[in-house]
């Protein structure tokens, strides 16, 4: 598999805040842009985005289900499939999902390499709750 060589990645921040000096929208660069993209892909429901109903995962809708080891494996597979298919800027290394007892949340750990940039392996950890904050 051939990897593309890239110089930089840049995305618009979804906060839509303006830069205080230039008055332009704030941008995210390189590892921060990719990190934001990975989190957004995992937190997006399938069918939530207009005209792109294939983007996202069914994970957030199943947070109230009984959490078993099979459920954890299924969630890991959904995340892996989504990131491999929809985020070409990374090479996925590991996805681990854990769920603390007596809490309606999932802890997600994702490790990946950024393709085309000389960064160390990125380690991303976040929590999925039944409702967004």
Give domain limits for the chain. Answer: 19-128
Cα–Cα distance measured from residue 122 to residue 5, given in angstroms and rounded to the nearest whole number:
18
Count the helix, strand and coil residues of the chain and give each as a percent rounded to the nearest 5.
Answer: 25, 25, 45
Please report, in tens digits, the pLDDT of each residue of the chain (133 residues total).
555 555 676 666 666 677 778 777 667 677 778 888 898 888 888 878 788 877 878 776 666 666 677 778 888 999 999 999 998 889 999 999 888 777 777 889 999 998 877 888 889 998 887 765 4
Tell the CATH topology of 19-128: Nuclear Transport Factor 2; Chain: A, (3.10.450)
């Amino acid at each position: 598999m051939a990897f593309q060589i890239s110089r930089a990645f840049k995305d618009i921040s979804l906060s839509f805040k303006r830069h205080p000096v230039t008055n332009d929208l704030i941008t995210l660069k390189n590892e921060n842009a990719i990190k934001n993209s990975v989190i957004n892909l995992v937190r997006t429901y399938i069918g939530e985005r207009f005209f792109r109903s294939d983007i996202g995962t069914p994970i957030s809708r199943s947070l109230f289900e009984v959490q078993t080891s099979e459920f954890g494996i299924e969630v890991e597979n959904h995340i892996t499939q989504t990131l491999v298919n929809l985020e070409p800027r990374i090479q996925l290394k590991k996805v681990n999902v854990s769920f603390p007892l007596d809490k309606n949340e999932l802890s997600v750990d994702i490790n990946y390499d950024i393709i085309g940039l000389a960064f160390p392996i990125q380690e991303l950890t976040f929590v999925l709750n039944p409702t967004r904050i």
